[in-house]
Amino acid sequence: MSKYVCNVCGWIYDEELGLPEKGIAPGTKFENLPDDFECELCGVGKEEFSIVEE
């Protein structure tokens, strides 16, 4: 499982955790998020995210 960081505000989407409160189940891969997915903090789209290199 990977993590993706918003390039604008730094919020992190963690595939392992998902976003159950938004209907995104734990384990949901970033590429499987809806096309209209937006950053929880600043509202930018998926294109503004980068994978976190661990």
Domains and CATH numbers, the chain: 3-51 (2.20.28.10)
pLDDT on residue 53: 85
Determine phi and psi for 10, rounding to 5 degrees: 95, 0
In a 3-state reduction of DSSP, which class is residue 4?
A: strand
Over residues 1-44, the pLDDT tens digits come to 999 999 999 999 999 999 999 999 999 999 999 999 999 999 99
Q: In what order do the strands lie in the sheet with 12-14?
A: 12-14, 3-6, 49-51
Q: How many CB atoms lie within 10 A of CB 11?
A: 14
Q: Structure pTM?
A: 0.92
pLDDT on residue 47: 97
